[in-house]
Amino acid sequence: MTALSEPDAPTQPIPVASASLERASRGDQIFRGVLTLGAVTIPVLLGFLVFELWMGSRLAIDKFGLGFITESTWDPVAEVFGAFPLIFGTLLSSVVALAIAVPLSLGVAIYLVEFAPKSIRQPVAFLIGLLAAIPSVVYGLWGIFVLIPILRASVFPFLRDSLGFLPLFQGPIYGPSMLAAGIILAIMIMPYVMSVSREVLLAVPNTQREAALALGATRWEAVITTVVPYARSGIAGAVILGLGRALGETMAVTMLIGNRHEIAASLFAPGYTMAAAIANEFSEAVGDMHLSALAYVAFLLFVLTVLVNAGARLLIWRVARGSGAGSAAL
């Protein structure tokens, strides 16, 4: 493969049919030229994206600097902007989502790889994969008209009654809230966390399981003492990958989180995320500074997701080297 794919592998000059050889090599050049054009477009596009985001947010960067990240005022009329509530909301909703999605996804992944009857493995993985195919806006629609009424009527009051001693579950119940957004996000990232951890677990060599079973471990003990520790950095990668997804999710969160530039301790209170603020305010922003502040938020969100995804990739790669696990979901 490598020898053949060398870009300029020396071709032995063959005296016969040199004209057709020459034509062939010109064909090769054109072919490679066209492909190179396609391949070059990609870094150029991304460079352009970074450039445009930077240019778009320069006004706000010049005025607010890095203080933008820690400042809490968001006043389009006075043209004073600070993204702290947005960053806080983005992180909190994602953490809530992970807290719900990770145990579920790991449970499903471990069950499918280690315990499930062969005949149901593929179908269950396929069905959960379908969750990833549902568009974000449909989750939002379902969230508004089905999930929120259920949460408001029974789940939130129950949480307040049973866990109300925690500040997280105190205060008035509206419906659209940090917790509602976190729950819908959990459903949305579950297929990603599940499929990557499944691939990572599949990459664990069978000798690990066999050794534990031979020592008399039960099947659960074999999994928890040998398989999971072996795959732990890959599983961490899957979780961080889910985090990357949750951070950038827009529509469903916009429709469920309540959209308020406030920081509240309670998960029942409405909040805001970076992506939701851009979605809601961008097309209605009038002042240049408002637009620029939103572009700055987009720039920060981009940097945040790039860092998180890079970390995830690194961790997955350490376990499932060469198996390509995770690249499909990324």
48 bridge partner residues: none
Q: How far is CA 110 from CA 22, 105, 219, in A?
A: 57, 8, 11
The yes or no reply on residue 67 touching another protein (CB under 8 A) is no
Q: How far is it, in rounded angstroms, from Cα 229 to Cα 194?
A: 17
User: For the chain, first and last CA: distance in Å?
Assistant: 27
- Which two three-digit tokens encode residue 204? 């664990």
The yes or no reply on residue 210 touching another protein (CB under 8 A) is no
Burial of residue 101 (CB within 10 Å: 0-12, 13-18, 19+) is: buried
Which lies closer to another protein via its Cβ, residue 138 or residue 163? 138
Which lies closer to another protein via its Cβ, residue 84 or residue 111? 111
Q: How far is it, in rounded angstroms, from Cα 176 to Cα 294?
A: 23
Q: Is 149 left (phi over 0), alpha (psi -120 to 50) or beta?
A: alpha
Q: In 3-state terms, the chain is what percent helix, strand and coil (to 5)?
A: 75, 0, 25
Figure out which of the listed residues 25, 72, 154, 207 binds another protein, where binding follows CB under 8 A: 25
The yes or no reply on residue 61 touching another protein (CB under 8 A) is no
81 bridge partner residues: 74
The DSSP secondary structure of 116-152, one letter per residue, reads S-HHHHHHHHHHHHHHHHS-HHHHHHHIIIIIHHHII
Q: How far is it, in rounded angstroms, from Cα 5 to Cα 224?
A: 44
- Which two three-digit tokens encode residue 41? 């477009």
Which lies closer to another protein via its Cβ, residue 31 or residue 158? 31
Binding mask 221-250 for another protein (x = CB under 8 A): x--x-------------------x--xxxx
> How many of the other CB atoms lie within 10 Å of CB of 214?
10
Figure out which of the listed residues 82, 85, 189, 199 binds another protein, where binding follows CB under 8 A: 199
The yes or no reply on residue 5 touching another protein (CB under 8 A) is yes
> To the nearest whole angstrom, how small is the minimum distance from the Cβ of residue 149 to another protein?
12
* Total residues in contact with another protein, by rule CB under 8 A: 96
The yes or no reply on residue 174 touching another protein (CB under 8 A) is no
SS3 (DSSP) at 74: strand
Binding mask 286-305 for another protein (x = CB under 8 A): --------xx--x--xx--x
Figure out which of the listed residues 78, 130, 165, 286 binds another protein, where binding follows CB under 8 A: 130
The yes or no reply on residue 19 touching another protein (CB under 8 A) is no
Can you point out the beta strands (E) in 162-312? none
183 bridge partner residues: none
The yes or no reply on residue 214 touching another protein (CB under 8 A) is no
Site for another protein in 256-285 (CB under 8 A): 275, 278-279, 282-283
Figure out which of the listed residues 111, 175, 213, 263 binds another protein, where binding follows CB under 8 A: 111
Give the binding range for another protein (CB under 8 A) out of 60-68, 80-88, 167-175, 308-316. Answer: 308-316
> To the nearest whole angstrom, how small is the minimum distance from the Cβ of residue 214 to another protein?
16
The yes or no reply on residue 91 touching another protein (CB under 8 A) is no
The yes or no reply on residue 158 touching another protein (CB under 8 A) is no
Which lies closer to another protein via its Cβ, residue 111 or residue 170? 111
Figure out which of the listed residues 65, 70, 73, 146 binds another protein, where binding follows CB under 8 A: 146
The yes or no reply on residue 31 touching another protein (CB under 8 A) is yes
